[in-house]
Amino acid sequence: MTMGPTAGPLPASSMPATSLNVPSASSSLNGLQPFIKDCPHGGTNMDLDLVKEGTTLLEVPRSSSYTFQGRYAPFKAPVFYNPRMEFSRDLSVMALRVFVKERKPPISICDPLAGLGARGIRYANEVQNVKSVMGDLNADAIPLILKNADLNGVSSKVEVFEKDANLLLAESSEPGKRHDFIDIDPFGTPVHFLSSAVRAVKNKGILAVTATDTAPLCGVHPRACIRKYASVPLRTEYCHETALRIMIGSVVMEALKHDFGTEVLLSYSVDHYLRAFTRLTLGARRGDRAAADAGFLLHCPSCGWREKIKLNAAFDPKCSTCGGSVSRAGPLWCGQLSDPSFLDKMLNEDRSLFNTSRRIEKFLRIVREECEMPISFYVIDNLSSSLKRDVPPIKKVIESLKAKGHKATLTHFHPKAIKTTAPISDIKSAIRGI
């Protein structure tokens, strides 16, 4: 049977009934089993659809029952599920598949803000040698996670807790109980969970983080960004990159407190959210190296000049190009946004079974191209309009810059923007010359 977003979800009742595994005696869920059996929805008091993400079946809140202005609204549902995040979950499955190849099994993952278990269950089902610990504070989520685990035959690979995420992570912070991969996928900002996540991750483990509070991070609400991230955002054409760098910076700073150095394996900004996969490795020197990649971004609103500076560097508040007043964003991450060798491995992973495979293909190729490019990007439409020129084809701008000896690529951040090693004056000349 074909299912998934293109085929449309099926009501759960149209699927064959499956037996529900009894949680293990050691599980915290013993008390839930009788409740699940007695309930017509298998322990969930809501209308459900059945969808397929990757090779995983998921019972999710029925899209026609929880709506706002005629459309499915995840926040109206008793348990959170956002189909728009399937791309994020597909990429996460791929990143975890790459990661497990370099670790000794079994791989322990923790999804402490699990919702109905879409991430934790997919990891257990679609990645070899993985055990998932999932948690959610919403009591309605727990039976649905269990039901979804059973539906995919992975009940023996999961543990589920109705618990605050910080508490669940704190309980894994002892050596021997830590996780190889922790996925922080909250409502809004991840900052409330970073301290306990860093304590609960194993050496050389992965901490994956999502942020959906893009308005503060992009400088629409700068005071909220300063409060949450202790960082000043900047409202520029490349604000989504600054936002991502501020979010990564908050992970790096938290890791430094525990003598962890941070490498960014993959990070991106798409749709309404930011996401980063970071590898934390113990060692004060590694920490020093990560700290050396933290800094500030200087930007001249008058002429568009921009430059990164180190955390402890002095700066001239006057633009060296036009003499205008320079704005400063940060502290933020100024290092690479993705690791080329990690991306090469992701590109080698099979993605044919994902509903988002075509998008993943295009996305990974652009991210691979741009990952060694300098900080920030230029929106060609904006530059053309400031020069009162027609907008040239973006590929021609890239070719022209390359012909002058610069590097230039597309960027996943914006369909009409480029990243380049060229100064802004050369980009303007290229536009004028086309």
Ligand X SMILES: C[S@@+](CC[C@H](N)C(=O)[O-])C[C@H]1O[C@@H](n2cnc3c(N)ncnc32)[C@H](O)[C@@H]1O
User: With respect to ligand X, which residue has the nearer C-beta, 140 or 241?
Assistant: 140
Asked if 392 interacts with ligand X (CB under 6 A), we say: no
For residue 211, the partner it binds in Zn ion, ligand X, none, with Cβ less than 5 to 8 A by kind, is: none
Asked if 305 interacts with Zn ion (CB under 5 A), we say: yes
Nearest distance in Å: CB 36, ligand X? 19
Interface residue with ligand X among 113, 201, 246, 329 (CB under 6 A) is 113
Q: Sign of the CA dihedral 408, 412, 413, 414?
A: positive
Nearest distance in Å: CB 187, ligand X? 5
Q: Does residue 34 have a cis bond before it (omega within 30 degrees)? A: no
Write the Ramachandran bin of 356: left for phi over 0, alpha for psi from -120 to 50, otherwise beta: alpha
For residue 136, the partner it binds in Zn ion, ligand X, none, with Cβ less than 5 to 8 A by kind, is: ligand X
**What whole-number distance in Å separates Cα of residue 386 and Cα of residue 43?**
59
**What whole-number distance in Å separates Cα of residue 254 and Cα of residue 41?**
42
Nearest distance in Å: CB 411, ligand X? 26
**What whole-number distance in Å separates Cα of residue 260 and Cα of residue 278?**
11
Which candidate, 147, 96, 105, 22, places its Cα nearest to that of 266? 96
C-beta separation of 299 from 326 below 8 A: yes
Instruction: Provide DSSP, 2-36.
Output: --STTT--EEGGGSPP-PPPPPPTTSTTGGGHHHH
Asked if 164 interacts with ligand X (CB under 6 A), we say: yes
- CA triple 10-12-13, angle to 5 deg: 110
Nearest distance in Å: CB 231, Zn ion? 23
Nearest distance in Å: CB 226, Zn ion? 25
Asked if 353 interacts with ligand X (CB under 6 A), we say: no
Place of tokens 């005071």: 223
SS3 (DSSP) at 389: coil
Asked if 118 interacts with ligand X (CB under 6 A), we say: yes
Beta strand 201-211 with 179-184 is: parallel
User: With respect to ligand X, which residue has the nearer C-beta, 209 or 291?
Assistant: 209
Place of tokens 């991230």: 229
Interface residue with Zn ion among 30, 128, 302, 385 (CB under 5 A) is 302
User: Binding marks (x or -) toward ligand X, 320..339, rule CB under 6 A?
Assistant: --------------------
Beta strand 158-162 with 179-184 is: unpaired
Nearest distance in Å: CB 386, Zn ion? 12
**What whole-number distance in Å separates Cα of residue 34 and Cα of residue 36?**
5
Dihedral, 49, 88, 102, 57 alpha carbons, nearest 10: 10
Q: Is 164 annotated as a binding residue?
A: yes
Asked if 170 interacts with ligand X (CB under 6 A), we say: no
User: Binding marks (x or -) toward ligand X, 45..84, rule CB under 6 A?
Assistant: -----------------------------------xx---
Nearest distance in Å: CB 431, Zn ion? 18
**What whole-number distance in Å separates Cα of residue 254 and Cα of residue 246?**
12
User: Binding marks (x or -) toward Zn ion, 317..336, rule CB under 5 A?
Assistant: --x-xx-x------------
**What whole-number distance in Å separates Cα of residue 248 and Cα of residue 242?**
10
As beta bridge partners, residue 296 has 309
Asked if 90 interacts with ligand X (CB under 6 A), we say: no
Q: How many residues bind ligand X (CB under 6 A)?
A: 20
Asked if 93 interacts with ligand X (CB under 6 A), we say: no
Q: Is 371 annotated as a binding residue?
A: no
For residue 9, the partner it binds in Zn ion, ligand X, none, with Cβ less than 5 to 8 A by kind, is: none
As beta bridge partners, residue 162 has 136
Q: Is 275 annotated as a binding residue?
A: no
Asked if 141 interacts with ligand X (CB under 6 A), we say: yes
Binding residues for S-adenosyl-L-methionine: 89, 119, 136, 164-165
Q: Which residues in this chain contact Zn ion in the complex, by CB under 5 A? A: 300, 302-303, 305, 319, 321-322, 324
Where along the sequence are the contacts to ligand X (CB under 6 A)? 80-81, 85, 89, 112-115, 118-119, 135-138, 141, 164-165, 185-187
